[in-house]
A and B are shown apart, each in its own frame.
Chain A
Amino acid sequence: MRYSAYSIFKQALSGNRLWQPAWREPQPKPHYDVIIVGGGGHGLSTAYYLAKEFGITNVAVLEKGYIGSGNVGRNTTIIRSNYLLEGNNPFYEFSLKLWEGLESDFNYNAMVSQRGMLNLFHSDGQRDEYARKGNGMRMHGVDSELLDREQVRKLAPYLNFDHARFPIMGALHQKRAGTVRHDAVAWGYARGADQRGVDIIQHCEVTGIRRENGVVVGVETTKGFIGCNKLALAAAGNTTTVGRMADLELPIETHVLQAFVSEGLKPVVDHVITYGAGHFYISQSDKGGLVFGAEIDFYSSYAQRGNLQTVEHTMEEGVSLIPGLSRAKVLRSWGGVMDMSMDGSPIIDRTSIDNLYLNCGWCYGGFKATPASGFCFAHLIAKNETHHVSRFMRLDRFERGYTIDEAGRGPQPNLH
């Protein structure tokens, strides 16, 4: 069924009793052309683009939980392409362009809202850094403008402009950045892939990767053995666990990132705002909840819950930036486990095993990359060659000395 104003009208007349499930719940077939491990945003978008752009439809997505239970349903829903480096910017801009056309492309309301992003700066040095980043973006053909203090005040008068230690001096503004309803991204891709014949198999955990003569022949799962011609891993958070089944040595450490949402408030925060003096970022959902977060918990963790110290630190940063936030109540907080790579950038590449493909290392910037990650990974799987915008995101870049270290922090995964 195609969703449209007419379909809503028609269903309403019949009391909304005739809506069909958005995707099937198939049993696994004995063999697929491509198996994708991980039914998160990246796995589902990979399946979608494999079917839609590259005509490969005999595909299964294996998900150990349910669709949307991992990081695609646990992030702060921000999309943007304000990156400096050559290895990053064209990729994230490609992603932002896909976001812009996504809803009509997969016929699903993902509530893409380009409300703009303000990266605040608080010192002369930081202003210069952001001016440089903005110039870098413009040289890549990406919109950005440097705002002074009064221009920021017009957009967000509730900020603490006269903080004694970190006064707000201005912001780098990307107008095309914004937010997306994250669950709907998973559902939209799942539905689009399913309609084109992809089997989405939930509650099916991969427990082993079977190899013969140096190539992958299939996976052992909780629903039995499933054969495949090509195996694609998109299991961020658990990449090492899955990679170990194929003896991969990976530049990844797993960490937990927490996020928070307040009670519903009337519209107040119109943009996505980041605090340059900390690592705090905030936006307001369409339901009215303030959605915000800050740093990871700094120690390695596979637990989808975090430490109270980080909760406290996040609240302090928030109140320091927006004093009025102290009056709002936090409704929920949660954690997601993520692949922290050794240079803060992801990996979309082949591996030492010919028919095993790897998509991992998204740190905590994976959500905005969902469309481009899926598109580039599908390109790689289908054609066996790297898509040009992801050509820097290679697994062997660490060994070759070509890291993509956007933050300039070195091989320290908890600092990216």
Chain B
Amino acid sequence: MASLITCPHCGTRPKEEFSIRGAAGPERPSPTARDEDWHRYVYVRDNPKGRYQEHWHHVAGCRRWLVVDRDNLSHEVFGVTDAAEFERARVAK
């Protein structure tokens, strides 16, 4: 039910310790990118029904930014990674 989140740094913690920013999917364009790309990054969301990745902040724990990979219909959590690691993996792709 997404009530318990396993932080890679702190272990399994209650959801109350986290604050949620939103979609982790959109990739930040370069500062010189076209307006259309910035519009898409800032305002447009995939918003699928099912698997979704979000930035969660462990505010009452290690204060690291995390990416929670979750099903937004069943609330099943597939995995939690540190946001820095998530970004590095995305850049490496």
Bits for B41-53, please: 1 = Cβ < 8 Å to A, else 0.
0111111110010
Which of A238, A252, A309 touches B45 (beta carbons < 8 Å)? A252
Q: How far is the CB of B39 from chain A (nearest CB, A)?
A: 5
- B47 and A254 contacting across the interface, CB-CB below 8 Å: yes
> In the assembly, what is the distance between CA of A249 and CA of B45, in Å?
8
Query: Is B75 in the interface zone, CB < 8 Å from A?
Result: yes
Query: Is B83 in the interface zone, CB < 8 Å from A?
Result: no
- B1: nearest chain-A partner, CB-CB: A307
Query: Is B82 in the interface zone, CB < 8 Å from A?
Result: no
Query: Is B15 in the interface zone, CB < 8 Å from A?
Result: yes
Query: Is A399 in the interface zone, CB < 8 Å from B?
Result: yes
Q: How far is the CB of A353 from chain B (nearest CB, A)?
A: 17
- A251: nearest chain-B partner, CB-CB: B43
- B72 and A399 contacting across the interface, CB-CB below 8 Å: no
User: What residues of chain B lie closer than 8 Å to A251, measured between beta carbons?
Assistant: 43-45
- A301 and B75 contacting across the interface, CB-CB below 8 Å: yes
Which of B3, B68, B75 neighbours the largest number of chain A CB atoms within 10 Å of its CB? B75
Which of B36, B45, B54, B74 touches A299 (beta carbons < 8 Å)? B54
- A400: nearest chain-B partner, CB-CB: B39
- B73: nearest chain-A partner, CB-CB: A302
> In the assembly, what is the distance between CA of A250 and CA of B54, in Å?
18
Query: Is A411 in the interface zone, CB < 8 Å from B?
Result: yes
- B39 and A307 contacting across the interface, CB-CB below 8 Å: no
Instruction: Tell me the total A-B contact number using a CB cutoff of 8 A.
Output: 78
User: What residues of chain A lie closer than 8 Å to B2, measured between beta carbons?
Assistant: 299, 307
- A256: nearest chain-B partner, CB-CB: B72
- B43 and A300 contacting across the interface, CB-CB below 8 Å: no
Query: Is A413 in the interface zone, CB < 8 Å from B?
Result: yes
> In the assembly, what is the distance between CA of A309 and CA of B2, in Å?
10
The verdict on A303 contacting B72 (CB below 8 Å), with A309-B16, A414-B20 known, is: yes
Q: How far is the CB of A303 from chain B (nearest CB, A)?
A: 5
Which of A250, A252, A302 touches B72 (beta carbons < 8 Å)? A302
Q: How far is the CB of B56 from chain A (nearest CB, A)?
A: 8
Interface residues of A in 373-416 (CB under 8 A from B): 398-399, 411-414
User: What residues of chain B lie closer than 8 Å to A303, measured between beta carbons?
Assistant: 72-75
Which of B20, B46, B47, B56 neighbours the largest number of chain A CB atoms within 10 Å of its CB? B47
> In the assembly, what is the distance between CA of A344 and CA of B43, in Å?
12
- B22 and A240 contacting across the interface, CB-CB below 8 Å: no
- B74: nearest chain-A partner, CB-CB: A303
> In the assembly, what is the distance between CA of A250 and CA of B3, in Å?
29
Interface residues, chain B, CB within 8 Å of chain A?
Answer: 1-3, 14-16, 19-23, 35-36, 39-40, 42-49, 52, 54, 56, 68, 70, 72-75
A-B contact pairs, 26 of them (CB 8 A): A238-B49, A240-B46, A240-B49, A249-B40, A251-B44, A252-B45, A252-B47, A254-B49, A254-B72, A299-B2, A299-B70, A300-B47, A300-B54, A301-B73, A302-B49, A303-B73, A307-B2, A307-B75, A308-B3, A398-B43, A399-B39, A411-B42, A412-B21, A412-B22, A413-B22, A414-B22
Interface residues, chain A, CB within 8 Å of chain B?
Answer: 238, 240-241, 249-254, 298-303, 307-309, 342, 398-399, 411-414
